[in-house]
Structure 1
Amino acid sequence: MSARKTAELSPEGIARSDRKRLAAEEGMRALADVERQAIEVRRNMARLREIREASEREKEAADAALQTASPAPAVKKRSRKTAR
């Protein structure tokens, strides 16, 4: 065996490779968690947008109904003031 092969099989080498493997696994889990949270945030934003738009549509419909139900205000003619 070469010197390199024996170094890779040493307890320090094994511990180092285990730490690298664990770090890689944790990194993948962290990225998946961040991605899942981003999806949840976008889903919540879409839900809130739908609620806001529905509320706006209801308000516009109520305003339109109020406009059609109430008579148009009478237009007053402006009186001219005489100059002194």
Structure 2
Amino acid sequence: MDSFLDKAQLRSIEAQKKTAERNSAMAEYQSEAKARAAKTAKLRELRLAREEADRAAEALNPEPKKKRAVRAAK
């Protein structure tokens, strides 16, 4: 009877270890996902600011329109 209880206790301990490992892995995954989302948001903000600055610069200094080439009459 003692060995039955020992086996049950070992199974219980193994299950607890697996649960702890699973929780640790999930926490790591969530932490990485949160960091990735923050980095993506920051990069998006920088890109949008750069695009807005480019649009403002274009509005202040528009490129001159190209003149059409005049073809020589034959």
TM range (shorter): 0.7 to 0.9
Equivalent residue number for residue 59 of structure 1? 50
**SS of residue paired to 2:13:** helix
Could you say which residue in structure 1 is the equivalent of 2:34? 43
Aligned residue among 12, 23, 48 for 1:32: 23
Q: TM-score, normalization: structure 2?
A: 0.82
The match for 1:4 is: none
Structure 1 window deviating more from structure 2 (12-21 vs 34-43): it is 12-21
Partner Cα distance (1:80, 1:38) in 2: 66
Over the residues paired in the alignment, what is the CA RMSD in angstroms?
A: 1.6
Measured against aligned partners, the alpha-carbon deviations of 1:23-64 in whole angstroms (never above 9, x if no partner) come to 011011011111101211210111011111111111111111
Distance in 1 (CA, whole Å) between partners of 2:34 and 2:17 is 26
Report the 3-state secondary structure (helix = DSSP H, G, I; strand = E; otherwise coil) of the residue aligned with 1:78: coil
Give the aligned residue type for 2:40.
R
For 2:33 and 2:14, the matched residues in 1 are separated by: 28
Residue type of the alignment partner of 2:16 = E
* TM-score, normalised by the number of residues in structure 1: 0.74
**Structure label with greater radius of gyration:** 1
2:8 maps to 17
Q: Aligned residue pairs: how many?
A: 74
- Return 5+ residue gaps in structure 2 as ranges: none
Choose the corresponding residue for 1:72, options 47, 63, 74.
63
Deviations 1:6-35 (A, max 9, x none): xxx22x333322221110110110111111
Which structure is higher in RCO with an 8 Å CA cutoff and minimum separation 6? 1
Tell me the percent identity.
Answer: 14
